[in-house]
A and B are shown apart, each in its own frame.
Chain A
């Protein structure tokens, strides 16, 4: 990752996904915001959470397309991002000035224990001088992490959540059900927080757009994780008679265990989206059936081996009525129907494989160049380095 710039920044396969999947989804999300009932809600700017990496190509693409609007003094202050590297946070902020950057490990910050999680809190309380602990590094770091977490929570909800994590959703070494899954559950719960609009009403979002990226695999998943994926597929098959035939047609097998043993990749692709859908359902959201769940696949080679990335793109809706107005343990009818549709779609529709054969390289390159030209307006790294 030379100079902190994302190594796949120039990858045109990735850029195809940005322009073909992410951009239209964000456009439609902006249209949804513009259709809000009150003027203040309609005129507000899109709130975007991302793991944009130093290059911030996704943010700048939305800037070029006028989907993300900067503040009157030119700040990207409705863009929020995490980066594990403190240095990359700084580099990112040079390219998208005014964006709100969080240094640190996203999952660790999200999963940090906070005794006051569900009560009224503010992000500055943890920063108060500790009464009974010495002023040592451990104390300070804990204070900062807690403050950071609360700060992060206060920025919720976002209109677009781009979890372009470039890593595995399921990690064999993680205690089941996995840190990332637990973190996502927290994030989707915080998405229910009311949006405060200055001078206007506070209202929970009806929906948001979600982009999620994961590597396929890993192949050495533990039995618990494999069992979870099998159960997802098995439950789907048990509740919809037609799925068995669909699966047989697509994979040649009708048994989840056999699928796992013989076609791990296919097994993962059928099971994983439902894991995500379940986390959403568990936090009072569901994948909108109208847009559905679009899955794109790209293959990357590195050091002689290759791996596949899946990009999931979806619109997410809030249950209606929401959970605080439903009987415990029940789902809204609309959400249940949407889930059935989604499952069938995942079983029936293969992912879109993005390869050199399917993209227009010249057009994508021209688009990427336009975005980079915009970036140079904010920060010209070449000029600054070229002494």
Chain B
């Protein structure tokens, strides 16, 4: 069995962020984060992703992309590049767009982080999430990029664009 559950971060009340500050090391070449029912406190903000090479004290610049397919419960679907959520030399990157905070609204998805302990190449990552938007729509959002450093990435963090995470289960797996 080469896919190992390392850590589960369970949030059941308002929490500013979900940080993984240990066990991201050379043990695995691939880490997978499962984002399960991430429910924001504040309506209409994205879930965001950070990487750190100093244990979550500061965050590494990213060059990243974000785009989404969008279908409202009533209206016209579309496919759009999300220029407000990407980075050319900054942090964080959006993993979703305007998530709703209604009682039944949330986000689910996965994020793949490749060989974060490597100190020769930049560290690549990508994600796919699906979420209820705050105007009652379905978002299918694709993000990806790399951290602009050859230093090892040893911590990652998720937060909302504004406000707390009220509920979530985020699991970190190692593969390899």
Q: Are both chains from one complex?
A: no
